[in-house]
Amino acid sequence: MSQGLKLGFLASANGTSARAIVGAIKAGQLTAQARLLVSNNRKAPALHWAAEAGLAGLCIPTQTDPEGADQSLAAEMVAHGVELIVLSGYLRRLGPATLRRYRGRILNIHPGPLPDFGGHGMYGRRVHEAVIASGASASGICIHLVDEEYDRGPVVARRAVEVRPGDTAESLEARVTGLEPQFFVETLRRIEAGELQLPDAAVNG
């Protein structure tokens, strides 16, 4: 019997998507194993949550020695048997060692349509402000592969989110944020079931 996806998580703060995914695993809604959570922030609530959830957690600071941190991150993910990395609010660009070792197997969720509302500096409320300012009738959630450039990797799954009359950046953000965790769970379920194929990667091996 398949044990499913072997997941690692990266989080800089709360790790909201990681919490939803681990919750789905424990509830029997997703066939997967949560192997490791890494944060670049020692005070990240995600690390405290991981300890309470029985999930291995590590802090690997990135500021003083980015190259060493990159190598350590790749090595720890491999040592814990991680096959697919999920970014859950990780606010650092990944380094070459991690990208090389896990190319095509790192997923991020973006709170707006790509490629139009992505790129350097486009995160959080800034995305929703840009969508509102554009006059677009719909925003969306994109789950995409991570590469060397912000938000440039191929989109794996999309979900449209209506921009309603009178919406502000705050109201749109609240609606999108509320949908993101479950959409990540659903997308991982489709990957595990073979309904979605990741380019250049075999995550069920």
Three-class SS state of 91: coil
Three-class SS state of 168: coil
Which one from 48, 80, 110, 120 is the annotated catalytic residue?
110
Q: Cα separation of 7 and 191, whole Å?
A: 12
In the residue annotation, 110 being an active-site residue is answered as yes
Q: Cα separation of 85 and 78, whole Å?
A: 11
Distance linking the first and last C-alpha atoms of the chain = 13
**Hey, which residues does 37 pair with through a beta bridge?**
9, 57
Q: Cα separation of 32 and 178, whole Å?
A: 23
Helix/strand/coil percentages in the chain, nearest 5: 35, 20, 45
Catalytic residue ranges = 110
